[in-house]
Structure 1
Amino acid sequence: MSLSHIRPWLAAVAQCSRRVSRTAASGTSKRFMSASASKERPLESTEDWTKFQLDRADNEALIEYFSQYGSTQTRGNTWQPHHSLHRPTAPANLTLSALLASGAHFGHSQALMNPNFMPYAYGVRAGITVVDLDHTLPLLRRAANVVRGVAAKGGSIVFVGTRADLRPVVRKAAERIGERAFHVGEKWLPGTLTNKIVMFGPDVAKSEQVIPDLVILLNPIPNVHAIRECAIEHVPTIGIIDSNVDPRIVMYPIPANDESTRTAELIAGVLSVAGREGVALHAEELARNQKARSQTRSRVRDRDSATARS
């Protein structure tokens, strides 16, 4: 084919390709161009400004109306694993889901289950005893009521957790209640309660209250000697009881997993919140008594002054 015949065909192909490229470029610009941006235009008159304000007011009204139907969850109110230690749940708000999430239902091997733990066992799965949380929840709330009652009467409470992972738990729980709560994070010294004169000295043992009103044990088995001393001194005890432990060793058992740090944080947090509520009730009672005494003194003073004038 001669060159004269090829040139018209090449010119037509080039013109077609330029047309296609221009169409593609314009289509791309239209595709990625914002529809709202194309409709926007500057405000040219007072009517435009008034219409803009009305549209904005309508949008704000719609947002305010539908905001109550949306989610209110934020980063601040979303649950995090460390909240069981720093933001414990109140006893009234505790649920089975929270206990289940903390692993409180895991017991020990079926071969290690104590026969007296049978009423608190839900069953066995894969050779592991499953704790019945339907018993754990009411017993935990009962223990919380005991802690609240002791704190409301001005009693002293001791948290005992001698494992390394339980030391910050008992410390935080005691700090949450206040000055009437104490914690033992190291080894329980034998004779702390039964040999108080030697442990604290005769002056302190006679002038100060060294016997607590309530002892809470997060790991009872390594602290059996502490439970014995509490029994000798008639101190009520609360303890987390696993499937390999006899529930009768403490006065108020809480059947749960005693090897889980999260379970210990949850239970200690619930009990400490109950103790804090009891401390608040005790402070209110003291304030009422102080007010009543001051009113009685004022009435007696007024009566004496009236008698003196007569």
Structure 2
Amino acid sequence: VIESGGTMLFVGTKKQAKDVMKMQALRCHQFYITERWLGGMLTNFMTIKKNIKRLKEIEKMRAEGILEKLTKKEAKKLEKEAARMEKYLVGIKDMYSLPALLFVVDTKKERIAVAEANKLGIPVIGILDTNSDPDPVNYPIAANDDAIKSISIITKAIADAAITAQTRVRAEEMEEAAASQTEMEPPVEEGQ
């Protein structure tokens, strides 16, 4: 998926998974959700994009000092709005299209995310405990989804695979660029 230019969304809102999911998603330059899954985050992505745009507008206003020129009440209202959106959207702030793949810790807890991905035909990799249904998950990983150690090991392996794919893509792009560069250069004749 990564090799073909797609993106991955790491989803883990349970306490044990939050830090690991965020760290590994950032390490492999992918997106993440570690706070509550907002219903419609995938199926109603246009609304989520509007919220992200609004968040960026408020951040721009803050950076340009426009908030300081507003009344205290207006500025406080905008800051509160930005803080709320930042909490839930920070990991997808730069996600401009739907992800090509979802990686989920505890598919039972994240059943809404899995259902939305299934509805849109987005493949799901999921860490499943014995209490989870493997049917809605395209690539189930049977493991303890409550233990920090198992979550860490599996999430690191997923992130490593994404990094390997990204490295492979960059290497191919560099080879293609080098090949097209040598085709464009005229041959050097001896004696000049």
TM-score greater than 0.5 by the shorter chain: yes
User: Shift in Å at residue 227 of structure 1?
Assistant: 0.7
1:158 aligns with 2:5: no
Where does residue 199 of structure 1 map in the other structure?
48
Q: Deviations over 1:215-244 (max 9, x none)?
A: 100121111111111112111110011111
**Other structure's SS at 1:272 match:** helix
- The CA RMSD measured in Å over matched residues stands at 2.1
**Structure 1 counterpart of 2:21, one-letter code:** V
Where does residue 255 of structure 1 map in the other structure?
142
1:240 aligns with 2:138: no
1:218 maps to which of 85, 96, 105? 105
The sequence identity of aligned pairs, in percent, is 28
Where does residue 88 of structure 2 map in the other structure?
none
Where does residue 103 of structure 1 map in the other structure?
none
Where does residue 292 of structure 1 map in the other structure?
179
**Structure 1 counterpart of 2:157, one-letter code:** V
How far apart in 2 are the matches of 1:219 and 1:157? 17
Where does residue 80 of structure 2 map in the other structure?
none
Q: Identify the structure with bigger relative contact order (alpha carbons < 8 Å, sequence gap 6+).
A: 2
Equivalent residues in 2 for 1:1-310, closer than 5 Å: 150-178=1-29, 181-201=30-50, 209-298=96-185, 302=186
**Structure 2 counterpart of 1:198, one-letter code:** T
CA radius of gyration, larger in: 1
CA contact (8 A) 1:152 1:280 kept: no
CA contact (8 A) 1:219 1:239 kept: yes
User: Shift in Å at residue 187 of structure 1?
Assistant: 0.7
**Structure 2 counterpart of 1:157, one-letter code:** M
Q: Deviations over 1:259-295 (max 9, x none)?
A: 1111101110111111111111011011112122223
Q: Deviations over 1:181-207 (max 9, x none)?
A: 0111001111111111122139x7xxx
CA contact (8 A) 2:16 2:147 kept: no
CA contact (8 A) 1:157 1:214 kept: yes
How far apart in 1 are the matches of 2:128 and 2:16? 18
How far apart in 2 are the matches of 1:246 and 1:221? 7
How far apart in 2 are the matches of 1:155 and 1:289? 20
CA contact (8 A) 2:114 2:124 kept: yes
Q: Which runs of 4+ in 1 moved over 4 A?
A: none
Consecutive unaligned residues of structure 1, counting only runs of 5 or more, are 1-149, 304-310
User: Shift in Å at residue 151 of structure 1?
Assistant: 2.2
How far apart in 1 are the matches of 2:13 and 2:24? 14
CA contact (8 A) 1:173 1:272 kept: yes
Q: Deviations over 1:20-55 (max 9, x none)?
A: xxxxxxxxxxxxxxxxxxxxxxxxxxxxxxxxxxxx
How far apart in 2 are the matches of 1:263 and 1:281? 27
CA contact (8 A) 2:106 2:129 kept: no
In terms of fraction of residues, the more helix-rich structure is 1
How far apart in 2 are the matches of 1:291 and 1:201? 40
| Aligned residue pair count | 146
So what's the TM-score if we normalise by structure 2? Answer: 0.70
